[in-house]
């Protein structure tokens, strides 16, 4: 079965500093990996995804993520955090080996950027 782990419930960072939100995954086949962001009482917004190719994926709002197959990780990064980045971030995976198209999500990491 596919699964996603986000080991940090919350990440705190000062505005202007780099940020990292961690994600590890487990699949039987090839992974399709996603990052979504959620603002209070709203739906999820797509940030970026990895399917194949370059391990460094660039997405919306200056975010990027690095796929590491050997460590089964897909950490979200941003060089310089903004207060407006404060939100709930979800990592998700789809296992191309199962044929199930629905995503499996991690438990979420709350990012708090302090001014």
Which residues of the chain form contacts with other proteins (CB under 8 A)? 4, 6, 9, 34, 36, 41-46, 49, 90, 101-108
Q: How far is the CB of 62 from other proteins (least distance, A)?
A: 19
- CB-count exposure of residue 82 (10 Å: 0-12, 13-18, 19+): middle
Least CB distance to other proteins at residue 26 (A): 15
For tokens 């950027």, the residue is 113
Residue 27 neighbours by CB under 8 Å, 6+ apart: 2, 93, 95, 97
Q: Which is nearer to other proteins, 45 or 80 (CB)?
A: 45
Q: Which is nearer to other proteins, 44 or 82 (CB)?
A: 44
Token pair 């199962």 in the structure block, residue: 98
CB of 93 to other proteins, least distance (A): 12
Which residues is 83 bridged to in the sheet? none
Q: Min. distance of Cβ 102 from other proteins in angstroms?
A: 5
Give 15 or 22: the residue with its C-beta nearer to other proteins: 22
How many angstroms from the chain centroid is the CA of residue 33? 8
């Amino acid at each position: 079965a596919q699964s996603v782990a986000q080991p940090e419930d919350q990440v705190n960072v000062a505005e202007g500093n780099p940020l990292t939100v961690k994600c590890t995954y487990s699949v039987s086949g090839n992974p399709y990996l996603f990052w979504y962001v959620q603002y209070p009482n709203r739906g999820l917004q797509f940030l970026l995804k990895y399917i194949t190719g370059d391990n460094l994926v660039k997405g919306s709002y200056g975010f990027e993520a690095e796929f590491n197959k050997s460590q089964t990780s897909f950490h979200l990064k941003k060089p310089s955090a903004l207060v407006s980045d404060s939100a709930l971030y979800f990592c998700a995976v789809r296992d191309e080996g199962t044929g199930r198209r629905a995503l499996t999500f991690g438990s979420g990491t709350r990012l708090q950027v302090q001014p």
